[in-house]
Amino acid sequence: MTLDTIDLKMLALLQKEGRLSNQQLAERVALSPSACLRRLRALEDSGVILGYQAIVDPARTGQPFEAIVHVSLDQSQPGWHEAFVAHLADWPEVREASIVTGASNYILQVRTADLQAFSGFVVDKLNRVHGVREICSHIVMRKIKTPGQPSPRG
């Protein structure tokens, strides 16, 4: 699908305000509601728009502690990747996981209630995975830019 300037404007608006009604979106991109809806459905059907979600405040849901964890695995073990990915599916503490290049194989975004719970996750779950060679954790002190939130100035 080739995106034109109207499609790009619609996407930018929806990324900032995902709850815009079709009428509001149509007004902001200067289209009729029916034309806007056709374009929106085309963006959804083609996979440009993957879905819609709420941005939740982790502190208000009991998960204010965040760490970015780099994990290196022993790649000589058969099925090392599949086994690790299977563990990830069972760990609610892991909010995001990426396969990366460089010194580690994976980067995980981990959320827990506090440092003690995070320590328990690392010791009792992550460190017990067969083939884990190295774990390097970075504690997030403060978020300065997040999806759905305005960037701070200064």
Of 34, 55, 38, 40, which is closest to residue 9 (Cα–Cα)? Answer: 40
Q: What would the two tokens of residue 65 be?
A: 């502690």
Q: Are residues 107 and 135 in the same domain?
A: yes
Establish if 154 belongs to a structural domain: no
Q: How far apart are CA 129 and CA 73, in angstroms?
A: 9
Q: pTM of this prediction?
A: 0.81
127/65 same-domain check: yes
CA–CA–CA angle 118, 151, 13 (5° rounding) = 110
State whether residue 23 is helix, strand or coil.
helix
Q: Is residue 151 part of a domain?
A: no
The CATH number of the domain where 29 resides is what?
A: 1.10.10.10
Predicted pLDDT of residue 78: 87
* Pair 36, 62 in one domain: no
Number of domains in the chain: 2
**Average pLDDT of the chain, as a whole number:** 93
Tell whether the model's pLDDT for residue 121 goes beyond 80: yes
Percent of the chain, pLDDT > 90? 79
110: its two tokens = 């981990």
Query: Is 24 in the same domain as 95?
Result: no
Per-residue pLDDT at 5 exceeds 60: yes
Do residues 93 and 120 both lie within one domain?
yes
Same domain for 88 and 133, yes or no, is yes
3-state helix, strand, coil split of the chain in percent (to 5) is 40, 20, 40
Q: Are 120 and 90 within one domain?
A: yes
**145 in any annotated domain:** no
Which percentage of the chain shows pLDDT scores above 70? 95
pLDDT of residue 14: 94
- Ramachandran class of 83: left when φ > 0, alpha when ψ lies in -120 to 50, beta otherwise: alpha
Q: Are residues 62 and 132 in the same domain?
A: yes
Tell me how many degrees the CA angle 17-97-109 measures, rounded to the nearest 5: 75
- Closest by alpha carbon to 125, among 62, 64, 69? 69
Residue 22 binned pLDDT confidence (cut-offs 50, 70, 90) = very high
**DSSP at 52:** -
Could you tell me the two tokens for 114?
A: 């506090």
Confidence of residue 60 (pLDDT cuts 50, 70, 90): very high
Report yes or no: 74 and 133 within 8 Å, Cβ to Cβ: yes
For residues 71 and 135, membership in a common domain is answered with yes
What is the domain-level CATH number for residue 99?
Answer: 3.30.70.920
Q: Are residues 65 and 111 in the same domain?
A: yes
- Domain range for 33 is 5-46
Q: Kindly state whether residue 149 falls inside one of the protein's structural domains.
A: no
